[in-house]
Amino acid sequence: MSAVTTALTEDQLALAEVTLDFAQEQLAPHALAWDQDKHFPVDVIRQAAALGLAGVYVREEHGGSGLSRSDGVLVFETLATGCPSIAGYLSIHNMVAWMIDRYGDDAQRARWLPGLCSAATLGSYCLTEPGAGSDAAALRTRAERQGDHYVLTGVKQFISGAGSAGVYVVMARTGESGPGGISAFVVEREDPGVSFGPNERKMGWNAQPTRQVVLDGVRLPADRRLGSEGDGFRIAMSGLNGGRLGIAACSLGGGQSALDRSLSYLADREAFGSRLLDRQALQFRLADMATELAAARALVRQAAEALDTGDALAPRLCAMAKRFATDTGYTVADAALQLHGGYGYLSEYGIEKIVRDLRVHQILEGTNEVMRVIVARGLTETLR
């Protein structure tokens, strides 16, 4: 607990305590079974919502918790100590809810936020396509204006929560090529023309579904558009700044859990007449793991504060934090597996699941290669 709560306010300490209790009581005991059975525990997500964890960033007057990004990274790190997969989905769900609160009008907020904040309705974010991943501005899903309606046609790929979620924030092209021709829409699962691909067979994140979202002539009234025409790419990227922090925080939580499990294992395990924990070489490995997590945590919190204060450098800092924390979390988890020896490779110890879950964090919400592009662009743009 101490690694997660350094230099926090009293309110944040209380938030961390409540969230940690939930993670250890409702997530951790079931995480392996959910992974093995590919079970999406919607009932448990609704229990998290009862604690205010499904509308973390939504303003209180709209049914949310009204918390800051600095609070949010604490929430998602702590949840991920119980299960990175469920914590990761909750980060995405909260991104969707925030986007509707931030960019929606009063009618849209009233229509969708109560259900999202209570998790009676789950949310999914639809940007990536089969041919447009890192180059998101090249998306091909179209929204053709027909009077006071739009008709959406296209396919979205790798959509977390797809099929189970009731609300989808979808980016579609309403104009010319490039980012300026993209608009954002809210699509509902029951809209005619919406269907889903099979649940993908994945390396990790098995406790949440990942499917294609297929839009076959989905006819939406114009009041389903979020923001103005052409604002979609800006809305999408704005959402991703917070989403990247959420996934970075989930990597910290998974890495911290792996470190904690390693400490317990090495304290209990003996070899060559002494505890493994007393071996200096292994102590040094643990020290490096703890140091790297602390450094990543500091960067994530710096980026969260920048986003909270509207710092112009916030997008760059979010990219830095996402890249560094997701690389660090995975590296720490992999080191923990090595420290467990053969037992780390067995599913019952939970380490290999953390490794599998954290690996995708280096890809989603923008690959870490794209994070480097964002950072480099910020460093060099004044020299062009």
Burial of residue 264 (number of CB atoms within 10 Å: 0-12, 13-18, 19+): exposed
What Rg value do the Cα atoms of the chain yield, rounded?
21
The secondary structure of residue 132, as a DSSP letter, is B
pLDDT for 137 equals: 86
Percentages (nearest 5) of helix, strand, coil residues in the chain: 60, 15, 25
pLDDT for 1 equals: 45
pLDDT for 4 equals: 54
List the catalytic residue out of 61, 129, 365, 369. 365
CB-based burial, 347-376: b 16+ in 10 Å, e otherwise: eebbbbbbbbbbbbbbbbbbbbebbeebbe
Return the structure tokens found at 74.
């604490």
In the residue annotation, 365 being an active-site residue is answered as yes
pLDDT for 2 equals: 46
Which residues of the chain fall below pLDDT 50?
A: 1-2
Q: Which residues contact 304 (CB under 8 A, 6 or more apart)?
A: 68, 69, 70, 72, 73, 245, 321
Helices 232-268 and 69-80: crossing angle in degrees, nearest 10, is 40
- Write out pLDDT tens, residues 263-305: 999 999 999 999 999 999 999 999 999 999 999 999 999 999 9
